[in-house]
Amino acid sequence: MPSGSTVPLSAQSRRYLQLGRFGFWGLWLLQPLWILWLAPPQLGNAYVLLALLWLPLWLPLYGIVKGHAYTMAWANFIVMIYFLHSLTNLWVSNGMQWGLSLLELLLAGVMFVGCTYYARYRGQELGLKIPKLKDDPQR
């Protein structure tokens, strides 16, 4: 059954969908604000950095807006970029950069948890399963 089916969302799935979307939209808004206005980079071109950090968030945009469980699952690979970016900045920076990095880490964590559990519970509601290796007859 496709994720756009008529199976209603449970309250639990809806809660995690909202959590994942909140983290996603927070990151989506934070990147251009941070890079262009709040704390532009001192070295290099701000637009190159913006492209490297903001463009990956455009890839899962449609699926996150539509609430596709599959998109929410693979969006977790993208959110790892923001975990690494924020943790690196927390280690080497201070002041405004440190605060923005902490916010980025929080938003990435919220998105990760929301997307992970939404994909899990929504997949269960839709009857989607990942086969276990021991059940694979070709193995």
pLDDT value of residue 139: 59
What does the pLDDT look like over 5-60, one tens digit per residue? 589 999 999 999 999 999 999 999 999 999 999 999 988 899 999 999 999 999 99
Pick from 45, 43, 76: nearest CA to 59: 76
At 132, is the pLDDT very low, low, confident or very high (cuts 50, 70, 90)?
A: confident
pLDDT at 42: 87
User: Lowest-pLDDT range, 21-25, 103-107, 115-119, 128-132?
Assistant: 128-132
Instruction: Extract long-range pairs of 44-53: CB within 8 Å, 24+ residues apart.
Output: 53/81, 53/82, 53/85
Give the percent of the chain with pLDDT over 90. 81
Q: Is the dihedral of CA 99, 100, 101, 103 positive or negative?
A: positive
How confident is the prediction for the chain on average, in pLDDT?
92
pLDDT of the residue at 5? 58
What's the pLDDT at 129? 78
Using the 8-state DSSP alphabet, how is residue 93 labeled? -
Nearest in space to 110 (alpha carbons), one of 30, 25, 29:
25
- Residue 118 phi, psi (nearest 5): -65, -45
Total-model pTM: 0.88
pLDDT given at position 136: 66
SS3 56: helix
pLDDT of residue 1: 45
